């Protein structure tokens, strides 16, 4: 059985690209969510080994989603990676303060992204 990863982004092309990238690696099973509410619902209904969140999404920001996930019993310890175009130091600090394990700016090198996912899974 592979690692289950939940990818969350409101940009369908980003979701497809990240999904294909992870599925091209051995050992990954990927689910996607197109907004924060959907991510919280999926994370509450299933067990994921890691969650990747965009920050800027309609309805609920990735920061809000991250804080919500940290308050849920089955996701409180799940590694969370924020992958976002918001890359200012204040955004990074807010993401890490919300409970993210890593904060990566978009665009991110695909190889680096996969390495970071594997790093958080190994921690």
Mean per-residue pLDDT of the chain: 93
pTM of structure: 0.94
Instruction: Quote the pLDDT of residue 98.
Output: 95
> Considering its fold, how many domains does the chain have in total?
1
Token pair for residue 47?
A: 């067990």
pLDDT of residue 2: 86
Could you tell me the strand order of the sheet in which 3-8 lies?
A: 28-33, 3-8, 50-53, 80-84, 102-105
Mean pLDDT (whole number) for 114-121: 95
CATH number at residue 43: 3.40.50.2300
The pLDDT value recorded for residue 84 is: 86
Q: Are 65 and 29 in contact (CB under 8 A)?
A: no
Over the stretch 25-74, which tens digit does the pLDDT of each residue have? 888 999 999 999 999 999 999 999 999 999 999 899 999 999 999 999 99
Three-state secondary structure along 51-117? EEECCCCCCCCHHHHHHHHHCCCCCCCCCEEEEECCCCHHHHHHHHHHCCCEEEECCCCHHHHHHHH
Q: Reply yes or no on whether the pLDDT at 1 is more than 80.
A: no
> What is the span of the domain harbouring residue 15?
3-122
């Amino acid at each position: 059985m592979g690692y289950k990863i939940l990818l969350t982004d409101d940009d369908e092309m980003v979701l497809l690209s990240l999904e294909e990238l992870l599925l091209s690696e051995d050992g990954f099973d990927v689910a996607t969510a197109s907004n924060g509410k959907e991510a919280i619902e999926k994370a509450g209904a299933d067990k994921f080994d890691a969650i990747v969140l965009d920050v800027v999404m309609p309805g609920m920001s990735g920061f809000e989603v991250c804080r919500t996930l940290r308050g849920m019993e089955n996701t409180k310890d799940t590694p969370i990676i924020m992958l976002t175009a918001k890359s200012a130091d204040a955004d990074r600090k807010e993401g890490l303060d919300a409970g993210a394990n890593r904060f990566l700016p978009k665009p991110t090198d695909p190889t680096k992204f996969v390495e970071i996912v594997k790093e958080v899974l190994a921690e």
